[in-house]
Structure 1
């Protein structure tokens, strides 16, 4: 209890200092901060859950110097450092098979940073990436105490709330496309694609009909939000995720009776025409435009696809010019802006339209950090997916269907996130680094359970 008392004393001094300062109205905030730190000291997992649940609401705090996510992050850093120093948390928890490719990636990232074409842009990129690295370490330390059912509930509720706001208020739309509390509709679509498998898990595990109806309603709202984003990539990733879920539950098909199949067909006959009727005409047109890919991309027919093709051309040229260490983190916009593509696809010739990111995390990493660094980054993603598959296989061998279902749905969410990185520049996305660490934790738990069962 020495550490909590020291924190109490420190915050007490902060309160007195604020009362004596020109800003005495900030003193009550220190009191609430004291209560929050005390709670997080006993239950650090609440801080990690808070960070994850606040991801869909980050747009609300963009202009604020201090937000809920920053409070949780700073508090967890302080608390976990103290608990590690006092051996209240074993340092062995930091073990992970992700460290090897991560360390290799960071070494190459550091060399690329030192040789960067623009140090200011690269340092900004590094500061953003550092947030993800910190979350990776935090999740490794406290991931074993994380309540995954509660994680699924909080993520479903938070993303569903933003879906409702985006569907029924033009304030949360970008040129008619739902963006929620975020700036980019595709970023919002990523969150929805990540959350849909979690919502389905809650429907499957619902203890009563009312619970299943509630989470089923959230699932429908998530699908409505995805439709409102008009994101083609989101639809493709979502459909792939749902197909994987159906494959996982294929063993349940023999339980379906003819009467159940009749009700299912009736439901589809009612839902599909309704979905087509309420689907925005612009979204239908965007989906139909994917058919032109078989004949090659024509920028005159679809500007969005033409712009993405131009990113690939510029990124490929960057890789050819600097294949080993790239041009430096965050420097893709510097190479794209002088090209004719930037001027051709710029709506109003503003700097934000000319200096565009690659909208493809993998392409951006390979072109800015180099091919070796890109391979390390892809290796981290691949190891994370393997960890989930390995853990799921162990639980299936033990016939623990509940844990296997959980691993399947978390794997669907992580796969959706990994696939969506091909359509967004988001190497610092908080959920990416939380899930990367969580895959190691889940694999460790499955292996420990298997070892305990094997002991005589």
Structure 2
């Protein structure tokens, strides 16, 4: 009963904020989603609270007053609609009504993009989102480090389950913080670090930037405590993007750092008597994944149009749970393999076009934006997309909540620009808004 009332109260709050400004509703959700995993031991809200909150903001957006001085440039949205239609049709043909859950997992968080189309993020919205990300990032990082201090058995006493939430790699406990598993925690830390670095470099004299540099080691150690190597790879890829696009000295710094690692790491392995470093850098998991990837790839030739949305990964697990089936579920551990297996070559092409066009728009925005914060937000978003694409080689990134929410929200938020700047970039603008005078 308490969870029902609390969920209703949250929906009422997001509705009231959304009626005033739908952007505020999205910012509220963006602040709360990193703490969804806490509900496992403290069920203060209903499980679908985040979906209900998004739908509430969407409802509020239908009656909220709209500003006419900004637009959101998302020319990739029509292609994303084709992808949704194609994927949904494939899921329904294979799973019938049970396809509702895979469709929700795959495409639900495109709804915030639609909201952003009619209510573009302003500079102030982007600035506030950065502050909220840094604040929640610090809290979750500290909680993850606290888990290292208390240990797995203390976490089990709190109600977390071994091999579900509490996981180990060799002698290392893998922190999962306020999330349900180590992967979302690591990738969220990656996101916060990427966006924080981009904005802090653009505004070095601001107090928020100074605080970020002070707490960034905590964020980095928190990410490392999850023992998710894909997050480290994604972070390095993002820093490379920042170096190539704007700050060339980052490339020199990365080269020096990697050289130092090559020199020091062998000595560190020799001094590591407990095998912690060996567990951290073990290639066993990658070799296992490479083995089943090699065996599974030929299935894409057998099913050129895919086996249907929701036939692999965590969405397939949920479908089997709901149906009571005992059939085993294949975990691709690779976003591209998952899309190829489920939607075939057409799905892969559509997905590549959507992401490719989104990255092209962001790159064009960087060249025309004059405001340092807005340009930094766009650079950080572009770097974050590259980090996510790199991490998706080793994980089904778009099935990991709340990373799927941020994956679509950030490009849409970054693409909010003044109407006078829009013609310099090009892009899809809703007709009713396009017809309004500048």
Does the 8 Å CA contact 2:144/2:176 hold for their aligned counterparts? yes
Question: 1:368 deviation in Å?
Answer: 0.5
Does the 8 Å CA contact 1:185/1:231 hold for their aligned counterparts? yes
* SS of residue in 1 equivalent to 2:120: helix
Write out aligned runs for 1:91-170 (5 A): 96-116=74-94, 118-119=95-96, 122-145=99-122, 147-169=125-147, 170=151
Question: 1:280 deviation in Å?
Answer: 11
Counterpart CA distance in 2 for 1:280 and 1:221 is: 25
Question: 1:417 deviation in Å?
Answer: 2.0
Structure of higher RCO (CA pairs closer than 8 Å, 6+ residues apart): 2
Counterpart CA distance in 2 for 1:318 and 1:442 is: 44
**Farther off after superposition, 198-207 or 74-83:** 198-207
Write out aligned runs for 1:50-61 (5 A): 50-61=28-39
From 74, 80, 91, give the equivalent of 2:61.
Answer: 80
Does the 8 Å CA contact 2:362/2:382 hold for their aligned counterparts? yes
Normalization by structure 1: what TM-score? 0.71
Is the helix fraction higher in 1 or 2?
A: 1
From 297, 310, 320, give the equivalent of 1:316.
Answer: 297
Name the structure 2 match of 1:419. Answer: 390
Deviations 1:314-358 (A, max 9, x none): 54133121112x111111259x99xxxxxxxxxxxxx99953421
The answer to whether 1:48 aligns with 2:26 is yes
* SS of residue in 1 equivalent to 2:74: coil
Q: RMSD between aligned alpha carbons?
A: 4.1
Count of paired positions:
382
Name the structure 1 match of 2:333. Answer: 359
Does the 8 Å CA contact 1:362/1:421 hold for their aligned counterparts? yes
Question: 1:98 deviation in Å?
Answer: 0.9
Question: 1:286 deviation in Å?
Answer: 4.4
- The 1:203/1:159 distance shift into structure 2, 3 A limit, reads same
Question: 1:76 deviation in Å?
Answer: 0.7
Q: Which runs of 5+ in 1 are unaligned?
A: 1-22, 254-260, 291-301, 338-350, 452-456
Larger radius of gyration: 1
Write out aligned runs for 1:260-339 (5 A): 284-286=277-279, 288-290=281-283, 302=284, 304-324=285-305, 326-332=306-312
The answer to whether 1:432 aligns with 2:404 is no
Counterpart CA distance in 1 for 2:392 and 2:418 is: 23
**Farther off after superposition, 442-451 or 415-424:** 442-451
Does the 8 Å CA contact 1:109/1:373 hold for their aligned counterparts? yes
Counterpart CA distance in 2 for 1:157 and 1:381 is: 28
Counterpart CA distance in 1 for 2:128 and 2:326 is: 39
Name the structure 2 match of 1:20. Answer: none
